[in-house]
Structure 1
Amino acid sequence: MSFFKNIFGSSDSNDQTNSMTWEPLQALEQLDEIVAQSQVKPVAIFKHSTRCSVSRMALKQFENEFNFPEKVTPYFLDLIAFRDVSNEIASRFGVTHQSPQLILIQDGKAVYNVSHSDIDAGELGAKL
């Protein structure tokens, strides 16, 4: 079962299980790990607001379209619960805070950054 279905549950009992596996991003120290990881394999960070319906829609669409786990490691950040991590991402990677937001990290740098309706798994895949 997907990480997000564990958080939000599913209103549809016929809902298919998505094969997407997220790494939870919950601590500042993980950002150093992400930088190191991105030297070998790109990392995507999805910043999500649990209070925003637009963020929830972007998240569901991204999860449904994501089909290339061998190319990128996806991390999920609940920016309401971990605002300090969200702020550090903006500072460390030089991106303006948005919610929802998708950031691609390669070789320790943000190389792709989109928010709201521009979040698209197919576009992310094209960047890899």
Structure 2
Amino acid sequence: MAALKRITSIEELTEAMEDSVHGPLLLFKHSTRCPISSGAHREVEAYLSQSPNEAVTYGVIYVVEDRGVSNAAAERLGVKHESPQAILVKNEQAVWHTSHSDITSEALEGILAE
């Protein structure tokens, strides 16, 4: 079963990004202090509990607790930081991203089915 793996260091982020050459990576940037982010987190978990794409690696960055990792992801991917935010990475490049209430299990299902 697919699960969110917490990314807590620049090294883990680098490894996940490099692995995106072999398969897609969905990064979820989550604020543990934000009710909107809590709702988006529930949507991601709902997607993962149904029939997620097992070819995708799922990572979560806690933007308050691991701010340096969150900033590094934004810089490396060239995607302005928002929280909550979902970013699909292929070949170490952001190919899709969305944020806030646009993060739904249906949206994830649609973009990750490809």
How does the TM-score come out when normalised to structure 1?
0.79
Higher relative contact order (CA 8 A, sep 6+): 2
User: In structure 1, how many angstroms separate the alpha carbons of the residues matched to 2:23 and 2:16?
Assistant: 10
Q: Cα deviation per residue 1:13-71 (whole Å; 9 max; x = unaligned)?
A: xxxxxx65111100001222112211111000110000000100111022112322413
Structure with the greater alpha carbon radius of gyration: 1
User: In structure 2, how many angstroms separate the alpha carbons of the residues matched to 1:40 and 1:122?
Assistant: 25
Greater Cα offset, 39-48 or 65-74: 65-74
> Contact (CA 8 Å) 2:2, 2:52: kept in 1 or not?
no
Unpaired stretches in structure 1, ≥5 consecutive residues? 1-18
User: In structure 1, how many angstroms separate the alpha carbons of the residues matched to 2:74 and 2:105?
Assistant: 21
Deviating beyond 6 angstroms after TM superposition, the runs of 4 or more aligned structure 1 residues are: none
Unpaired stretches in structure 2, ≥5 consecutive residues? none
Please tell me the root mean square deviation across aligned C-alpha atoms, in Å: 1.5
**Identity percentage of aligned residues:** 36
User: In structure 2, how many angstroms separate the alpha carbons of the residues matched to 1:111 and 1:47?
Assistant: 16
How does the TM-score come out when normalised to structure 2?
0.88
User: In structure 1, how many angstroms separate the alpha carbons of the residues matched to 2:28 and 2:105?
Assistant: 11
Q: Cα deviation per residue 1:64-109 (whole Å; 9 max; x = unaligned)?
A: 1232241311001111100000111110000010000001110110
Equivalences, count: 110
Instruction: Say if 2:27 is the partner of 1:45.
Output: yes
